[in-house]
């Protein structure tokens, strides 16, 4: 899919706006936010979701600090102050343009739970159905260092998958991927990427005092969505940038998507789900699941952990290597009773119909 086809097909668009993009003289760039709002209004036949950083930046200004918070507790406190200011700024500016916004604060911990993931997805869809522009940020006030997304580039990628977006736009101070530092006169913009792994050679980490990402972060996050059939454009901060992109202008770097759009459930399983236990399988079962078949009780050799039916478990081979994850149909006690047994015998022991332990539709194999 080329750039023009991608933007013409894009009905639902996720835009990621980082702290560096929002920054103007150490505070929020109200002119940019107003221009973005007008851009969205001009294209209101499409649906937009904004993933916005800036809570820490706004909090630093609000508290009169001269430094970026270093500890997780400092970050939580400063973000708590700044998030209110950030969303107030969006609401005040967008309301005057005729746009209604809704705030959503997410954490990895929340999205790791399948039920909460579905709730978040349903809320997001309902906001869009109501004509609202969702403004999404990580919930820094309660996130802890082990579970933070690390950068909103990755949050934007997960939101893109969760919302079934058709396009992800990541705004970048660099304006796209270059062969060297953009300031280098010999550096050239790479206008299109087909294979992100090859392009990572050119990527740099962030040196911003407010941001935590960089071009490498943007490419790695882009790979998540492009592998699932969603195109990505990394674009510069400029006036009317959204309208220019959607009209097909050759701006920034376009990342071609995979030709096959992956299952949303399997994306969640692979990228976000947290296993509650582990099951070991024999070589025959390993061969079966790797060929796309369901996992039967007869192929299970050992069961570890405490889990319920419909929980996620890790799948390990005979040597203990994790080869996949899946949503299990039985709790740990039931599975321990029927491991290694044919379905007829397993049905007899449990007193209920037994088919597969994990259906292929609810399993990912690495």
Tell me the pTM: 0.83
CB 299 within 8 A of CB 264: no
Residue 208 — pLDDT band, cuts 50, 70, 90? very low
DSSP 224-242: HHHTTT--EEEE---TTHH
Residue 151 — pLDDT band, cuts 50, 70, 90? low
Tens of pLDDT, residues 41-68? 999 999 999 999 999 899 998 999 988 8
3: alpha, beta or left? (left if phi > 0; alpha if psi -120 to 50) = alpha
Q: What is the mean pLDDT of residues 204-219?
A: 60
pLDDT over 70 at 170, yes or no? yes
Residue 209 — pLDDT band, cuts 50, 70, 90? very low
Select from 80, 66, 32 the least CA-distant residue to 210: 66
Cα–Cα distance for residue pair 89/76, rounded to 1 Å: 20
Phi/psi of residue 330, each to 5°?
A: -135, 155
CB 41 within 8 A of CB 35: no
Task: Establish how many alpha carbons lie within 13 A of residue 32's alpha carbon, considering only the half-sphere containing its beta carbon.
Answer: 18
CB 184 within 8 A of CB 167: no
- CATH hierarchy code of domain 275-365: 2.30.130.10
Q: What is the mean pLDDT of residues 182-207?
A: 80
The residues spanned by each domain of the chain are 3-266, 275-365
Q: What is the mean pLDDT of residues 103-109?
A: 87
User: Tokens standing for 35?
Assistant: 């221009």
Q: What is the dihedral of CA 223, 225, 6, 36, to 10 degrees?
A: -100
Identify the residue with better confidence: 305 or 108.
Answer: 305
Give percent of the chain with pLDDT exceeding 90. Answer: 67
Give the range among 101-110, 205-214, 306-315 with minimum mean pLDDT. 205-214
Q: What is the mean pLDDT of residues 154-161?
A: 92
Q: What is the pLDDT of residue 69?
A: 85
Strand partners, 202: none
Q: Name the DSSP class of 210.
A: S
Report the mean per-residue pLDDT for the chain: 90
Give percent of the chain with pLDDT exceeding 70. Answer: 94
Element (H, E) at 76: helix 72-97
How many residues would you count in the chain? Answer: 366
User: Tokens standing for 53?
Assistant: 């950083």
Strand partners, 192: 254
Angle between helices 72-97 and 55-63 (to 10 degrees): 100
Residue 202 — pLDDT band, cuts 50, 70, 90? confident
Cα–Cα distance for residue pair 339/296, rounded to 1 Å: 9
CB 219 within 8 A of CB 202: no
Tens of pLDDT, residues 320-363? 999 999 999 999 999 999 999 999 999 999 999 999 999 999 99
Helices marked H in 185-322 — which ranges? 196-199, 215-226, 241-246, 264-271, 283-290
Q: What is the pLDDT of residue 211?
A: 43
Cα–Cα distance for residue pair 230/364, rounded to 1 Å: 19
- CATH hierarchy code of domain 3-266: 3.40.1160.10
Cα torsion angle, 176, 182, 185, 188, sign: negative
Residue 146 — pLDDT band, cuts 50, 70, 90? very low
pLDDT over 90 at 245, yes or no? yes
Buried b (16+ CB within 10 A) or exposed e, 128-157: beeebbbbbbbbbbebeeebbbebbbbbbb
Collapsing DSSP to helix, strand or coil, 80 comes out as: helix
């Amino acid at each position: 899919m080329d750039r023009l086809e991608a933007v013409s097909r894009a009905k639902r668009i996720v835009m990621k706006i980082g702290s560096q993009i929002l920054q103007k003289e150490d505070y929020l760039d109200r002119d940019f936010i107003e221009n973005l709002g007008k851009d969205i209004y001009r294209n209101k036949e499409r649906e937009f979701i904004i993933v916005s950083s800036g809570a820490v930046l706004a909090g630093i200004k609000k508290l009169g600090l001269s430094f970026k918070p270093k500890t997780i507790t400092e970050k939580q406190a400063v973000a708590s102050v700044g998030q209110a200011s950030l969303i107030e700024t969006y609401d005040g500016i967008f309301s005057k343009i005729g746009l209604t916004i809704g705030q959503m604060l997410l954490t990895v911990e929340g999205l790791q739970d399948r039920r909460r993931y579905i709730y978040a997805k349903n809320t997001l869809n309902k906001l869009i159905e109501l004509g609202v522009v969702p403004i999404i940020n990580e919930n820094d006030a309660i996130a802890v260092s082990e579970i933070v997304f690390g950068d909103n580039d990755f949050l934007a990628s997960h939101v893109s998958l969760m919302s079934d977006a058709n396009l992800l736009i990541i705004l970048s101070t660099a304006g796209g991927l270059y062969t060297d530092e953009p300031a280098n006169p010999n550096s050239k913009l790479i206008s299109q990427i087909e294979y992100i792994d090859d392009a990572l050679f050119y990527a740099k980490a962030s040196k911003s005092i407010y941001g935590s990402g960089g071009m490498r972060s943007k490419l790695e996050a882009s790979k998540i969505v492009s592998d699932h059939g969603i195109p990505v454009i990394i674009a510069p901060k400029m006036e009317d940038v959204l309208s220019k992109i959607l009209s097909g202008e050759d701006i920034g770097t376009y990342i071609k998507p995979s030709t096959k759009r992956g299952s949303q459930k399997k994306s969640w399983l692979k990228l976000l789900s947290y296993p509650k236990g582990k099951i070991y399988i024999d070589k025959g079962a390993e061969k079966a699941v790797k060929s796309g078949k369901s996992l039967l009780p007869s192929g299970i050799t050992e069961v570890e952990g405490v889990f319920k039916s419909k929980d996620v478990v890790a799948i390990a081979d005979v040597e203990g290597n994790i080869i996949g994850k899946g949503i299990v149909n039985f709790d740990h006690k039931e599975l321990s009773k029927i491991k290694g047994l044919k379905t007829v015998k397993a049905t007899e022991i449990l007193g209920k119909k037994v088919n597969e332990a994990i259906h292929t539709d609810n399993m990912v194999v690495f």
